[in-house]
Each structure stands twice: as structure tokens, then as C-alpha cells.
Amino acid sequence: MAKKRSRRIIEMALAFLLLAPVISSPALAGSFDDGGLLRVINRWETLPKDYVPEEMVLPEVDTNKAGQKESIYMVPCAAAALEEMFSAAEEDGYILLAVSGYRSYSTQSLLFKNKVDSVGSRETAQKTVAPPGASEHQSGLAMDVVSTKFRYLNRDFLNTPEGKWVAQNCCYFGFIVRYKDGWTKVTGCNPEPWHIRYIGVEHAVAVTRLDIPYETYAAKARTLPEYVLCWGTSELFCGLVGDMLQGDESKAEELRLAEEMDEDFRWDTLNRITAQYASGE
């Protein structure tokens, strides 16, 4: 039964990938720039006060409370991916619920002020509530999720069947669990197994397989050419970033040099190095 469910998850993820060109452009999918899916957002790399995604929609998913429906807006590609993920979870017998999507700068300011007043320290507060501009929710790419059997934004969500399902499978729909145990010094946030962030399927699978904070992944991935970020596979990203973390920049440098060549040479290089990683060379 577990193998059958796993195949179904992969099938749905592949079906979603076929739709990806319709709901998001390659340039958006690969960009670390403003508005890009790969943009790093934390207390050190913040969004401006006036930043609002150009377009947002309400994903057709259930919420934890009836009154939360207006608080789950996301950018279209992330919303579509969330719908696919919730549907796949339901087929496996897990009912997920959305809690909080887009959150404005002003809303985050209020939440952060209340937290500081509550704990008495800005340093302590920002480990559990992001300062204004440092919240991924402002990007429209993040969602907090719970389940019908565990409705709390609590670390224990990770130990529930639904939390384990999210941790293992959200990457196949383009999401990563952003804040894990042991990552606080890098991310600046305490563990939040309920908080998922959309970065696209190929990058999400690579980050999950490497099991590293997104900051660590992004520090290496953002040095890659845009054509690689847009059209690379999870095997390629996993291999490249893994090698770079070990100090081996050879294949990454080949791809950087190929960016200056003609289009045929560039794609031949990308395909060759992708095949090398896929075959384990």
C-alpha cells in the first residue's frame, strides 16, 4: 500500500510539472531576484515595506477555521501546487488544512510588536515571529499547514502522520519545510514543521534530498547561471550543490563558462552534466 501511494504521489507531481509552464514562467521559476521563486527571505535579506506580489489567488483548499479563508492568498503557481499537494494527501488518507498564506508588511509589524511585548526581547521574539520584511508570508510563496487531527501550530505536528507526510512529500509539489531542528543558527528561526515554502519542484526535491537549510542551498545555487536555475533537474541541483559544498566547483564552472557560448553549446553542456549526475558519474 505504501509503495502504491508513493507511486501516486510521484504521478501527481509529474502531472503538475507538465502544467508548470502554464502557471509560471521559467524566468520567474529560476530567479533569486525581486519577485523570483528562489528569493531568500529572512532577517538578513528582507522584503521592502511596499512589496506586494503582482498577482495572488485563493487556493481551493480547506482552512483550519472558517474565518481564515481570506488569509490564505498565494501567488498562482504556489496556490496550484498547494491544491495538488492537499489532494494527494487526501488520497493517502490525510486531511491537511491551510492556516496562513500571504501576510502584509503591516500585519507582520503588528504580530512582531505583540510578540516583543509578550516576551520582552526582540532577539527572543524573532526566533518565533519574523520581523516585518523578514517573513516569507509577505512573498505569497509560504503557507502554514495543519490537519484535521492536529490543528495547532506546534512542533509536535512533525510527529503526527500528517506532519510526517508533509515532511516527506511536499517537495514533490515544489515546497520545502523551511525551518527544521538544528537549523536555527542558519535560518534565524526556531523549528516550524508547519511552515512550507514554494521554490519549484526541482529545487525543492534537491533541498530535501540534501537535507540542508535553504540559506545553505541558496548560497551555492545563486552562483549558477540563470539558464541552469530555470531548466536544471533535481539530480543536477543535488549534485552541483553537493559538490560545491564539498569545495568542488568544476562542473559548476563548466556551466558558467557555457553561458558565454552559443545556445547549442550551452544546452549540450547542461544535458551532458545532467546525465553525469543522473548516472552517478
- What is the b/e burial string over 192-207, where b = at least 16 CB atoms within 10 angstroms of the residue's CB? bbbbbbbbbbbbbbbb
249 catalytically annotated: no
Residues across the chain: 281
Is 73 in contact with 58 (CB distance < 8 Å)? yes
Write out the DSSP string of 141-199: -EEEEEETTB-S-SGGGGGSHHHHHHHHHGGGGTEEEEE-TT-HHHHSS--EEEEEEE-
| Helices of type H across the chain | 2-23, 26-30, 76-91, 105-119, 122-125, 161-169, 184-187, 201-210, 214-221, 226-231, 234-245, 250-258, 263-279
Question: What is the identity of the amino acid at 11?
Answer: E
Report d(CA 160, CA 220) in Å as an integer: 33
| Torsions phi, psi for 195 (to 5 deg) | -95, 115
Q: C-alpha distances in angstroms, 160 versus 96, 163, 190, 192, 220?
A: 12, 5, 19, 14, 33
What grid cell was written down for 168?
516527506
The single residue of 84, 136, 162, 192 carrying the catalytic annotation is 192
Please list the active-site residues. 192
